[in-house]
């Protein structure tokens, strides 16, 4: 299997580093029994950064290794020691790389200019230690916050070669030979179609102007619909200041002539779109061949009547190349003069929050009350649910934000199910209004007496699970829940065993 040397389109999965966890620690020193909390904060995770590197010309490295992950942040430690920062992962990309979000298809950035950076995945925040969480009301927290996971994204990188002049034409029209004749590039040249399989790039100097020239291989009729190879490489001339039609005047294929070749290629460029405003030059190539010189003379005036600048050239003998390169240089210089100065910039992708801001939204769904918002979802990710005191702290934060008040206003009842986060990955709670602590609760470290009583929603889910094995083949989980609700309405709170002797729906065999 051939190993590719030029790759201009890859799909890449990037993961930023997770933030380190904070630590719950108490200062211990002889004769100081009440040393106080001294847990340090977790360090932030490393970000994934795309940076334009002029020395990189292909996306080959990412073709072989398509998953990249930044370093996680270090965990905090006692003695007020914070965790280390996770190292950023810098991925060099060629100049002219376009970044797409695979899931949405959105163009995230167009990276042009050496040094331009894009923070494509932000590292997770480090969790706070109990020293940072201490306050006048909570002097000795027995918990710390967890670090947030880093952002994950699947992106597609597409390279659009940054060239000043683009050469277009049928296969074997002499584009590679022309680049080899006017620059030091040495592309593969042979006398059969589709010799060139990847774009060639050459640096040309004409007077005091130095510019780059690229060709589009495999451009034939129907290329915009996927025929040939041109549909894969047409994007490489989108950034060109000028387009040069290289026309073969000595082709042996029957039924072809320079004017029709020009019209076919122009039709493909028009159907591709976005190239109508580029200046055109026409290079009638292979005039060193007698038949080629005669055909070039026959169509020269007809093409000039269309307002095109036409040059009779030969890549083999060098005839007409000086005039052609200086004409290219004049167009390139004019385009550079009119182009604004591009400054190196750093771009940071900030995905929109669930409700468009840092606030929150509450909606009623079939599964319960859905709470979405940047702050609530971030607080949930930071909470250690194995620690009751940490859960109580989360409840206090949500209460202060106004989540509880909004739920009451919308008609939520005690015991209702509340989901925080995306429906596919939400954290489920039972609504328990009015549990704001207001002061430090004197219980054992890591506990919160407000969560000791049984929760109605959890008990209801447990009852449904216990009744599921007894359901009929046609009953669903929703049918079981409805039957239990109807039974509870008739008999009051359930104090019997499902299917037991006191079950009013039990049917004994005669």
Question: How many CB atoms sit inside 10 A of residue 417's CB?
Answer: 20
- Which residue intervals of 145-257 are DSSP H helices? 175-182, 230-233
Determine if residue 198 is labeled as part of a ligand binding site: yes
Q: Is 249 annotated to bind ligand?
A: no
Give CA 89 to chain center in angstroms: 15
The Cα 199–Cα 234 span in angstroms is: 10
111 is in an annotated binding site: no
Determine if residue 316 is labeled as part of a ligand binding site: yes
Structure tokens, 144: 């710390």
Task: Check whether 216 is labelled as a binding-site residue.
Answer: yes
Is residue 170 marked as binding?
A: yes
Binding residue per annotation — 315? yes
Q: How far apart are CA 154 and CA 168, in angstroms?
A: 33
The continuous run of DSSP H or E covering 152 comes out as strand 152-159
CA distances from 430 to 348, 437, 464 (A): 37, 17, 16
Count of beta carbons in the 10 Å neighbourhood of residue 455: 16
State the first-to-last Cα distance of the chain, in angstroms, to the nearest integer.
76
Is position 310 annotated in a ligand binding site? no
Residue 314 annotated in ligand binding: yes
The SS3 assignment for 235 reads helix
Place of tokens 């004769």: 31
Residue 307 counted as an annotated binding residue: no
Determine if residue 204 is labeled as part of a ligand binding site.
no
- Distance, CA of 120 to CA of 224 (rounded, Å): 31
Which stretches within 119-194 are classed as H helix? 130-133, 175-182
Structure tokens at 177: 């030979």
Written as six digits, the tokens of 254 are 């029957």
- Is residue 372 helix, strand or coil? strand
> Do 45 and 66 touch, CB atoms closer than 8 A?
no
Is 197 flagged in the annotation as binding?
Answer: yes
143 annotated as a binding-site residue: no
Determine if residue 176 is labeled as part of a ligand binding site.
yes
Residue 131 annotated as lining a ligand binding site: no
Residue 177 annotated as binding? no
Residue 34, number of CB atoms within 10 A of its CB: 8
402 annotated as a binding-site residue = no
Judge whether 196 is annotated as a binding position. yes
Q: Is 195 annotated as a binding residue?
A: yes
Q: Which residue has the tokens 């190879």?
A: 229
Residue 83 CA to residue 343 CA, distance in Å, equals: 35
CA dihedral 353, 357, 358, 363 (to 10 degrees): -80
385 appears as a binding residue in the annotation: no
Q: Is position 96 annotated in a ligand binding site?
A: no
**Binding site annotation covers 215?**
yes
Extract the annotated binding site for GTP. Answer: 169-176, 194-198, 215-218, 285-288, 314-316
Extract the annotated binding site. Answer: 169-176, 194-198, 215-218, 285-288, 314-316
Extract the annotated binding site for Mg(2+). Answer: 176, 196
């Amino acid at each position: 299997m051939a190993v590719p040397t030029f790759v201009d389109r890859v799909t890449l999965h990037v993961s930023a580093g997770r933030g380190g966890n904070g630590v719950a620690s108490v200062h211990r020193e002889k004769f100081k029994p009440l040393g106080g909390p001294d847990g340090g904060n977790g360090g932030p995770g490393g970000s994934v950064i795309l940076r334009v590197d002029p020395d990189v010309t292909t996306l080959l490295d990412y073709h072989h290794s398509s998953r990249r992950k930044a370093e996680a942040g270090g965990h905090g430690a006692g003695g007020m020691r914070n965790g280390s920062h996770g190292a950023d992962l810098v991925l060099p990309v060629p100049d002219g790389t376009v970044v797409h979000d695979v899931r949405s298809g959105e163009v995230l950035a167009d990276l042009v200019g050496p040094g331009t950076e894009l923070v494509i995945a932000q590292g997770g925040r480090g969790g706070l230690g109990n020293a940072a969480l201490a306050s006048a009301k909570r002097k000795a927290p027995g918990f710390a916050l967890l670090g947030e996971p880093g952002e994950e994204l699947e992106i597609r990188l597409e390279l659009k070669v940054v060239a000043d002049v683009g050469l277009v034409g049928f296969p074997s029209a002499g584009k590679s030979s022309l680049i080899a004749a006017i620059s030091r590039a040495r592309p593969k040249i042979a006398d059969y179609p589709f010799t060139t399989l990847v774009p060639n790039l050459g640096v040309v100097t004409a007077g005091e102007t130095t510019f780059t020239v690229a060709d589009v291989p495999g451009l034939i009729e129907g290329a915009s619909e996927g025929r040939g190879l041109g549909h894969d490489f047409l994007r490489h001339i989108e950034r060109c200041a000028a387009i040069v039609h290289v026309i073969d005047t000595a082709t042996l294929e029957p039924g072809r002539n320079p004017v029709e070749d020009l019209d076919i290629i122009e039709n493909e460029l028009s159907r591709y779109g976005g190239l109508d405003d580029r200046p055109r030059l026409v290079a009638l190539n292979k005039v060193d061949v007698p038949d080629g010189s005669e055909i070039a003379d026959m169509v020269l005036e007809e093409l000039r009547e269309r307002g095109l600048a036409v040059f009779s050239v030969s890549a083999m003998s060098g005839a007409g190349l000086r005039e052609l390169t200086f004409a290219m240089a004049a167009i390139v210089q004019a385009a550079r003069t009119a182009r604004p100065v591009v400054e190196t910039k750093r771009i940071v992708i900030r995905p929109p929050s669930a409700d468009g801001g840092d606030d929150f939204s509450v909606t009623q769904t079939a599964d319960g009350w859905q709470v979405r918002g940047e702050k609530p979802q971030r607080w949930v990710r930071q909470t250690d649910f194995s620690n009751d005191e940490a859960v109580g702290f989360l409840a206090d934060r949500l209460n202060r934000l106004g989540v509880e008040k909004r739920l009451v206003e919308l008609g939520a009842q005690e015991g209702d199910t509340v989901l925080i986060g995306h429906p596919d990955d939400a954290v489920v709670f039972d609504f328990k209004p009015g549990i704001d602590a207001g002061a430090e609760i004197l219980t054992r470290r890591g506990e919160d007496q407000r969560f000791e009583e049984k929760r109605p929603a959890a008990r209801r889910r447990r009852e449904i699970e216990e009744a599921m094995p007894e359901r009929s083949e046609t009953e669903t989980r929703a049918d079981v829940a409805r039957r239990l609700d109807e039974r509870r309405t008739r008999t009051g709170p359930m104090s019997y065993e499902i299917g037991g002797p006191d079950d009013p729906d039990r049917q004994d065999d005669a």
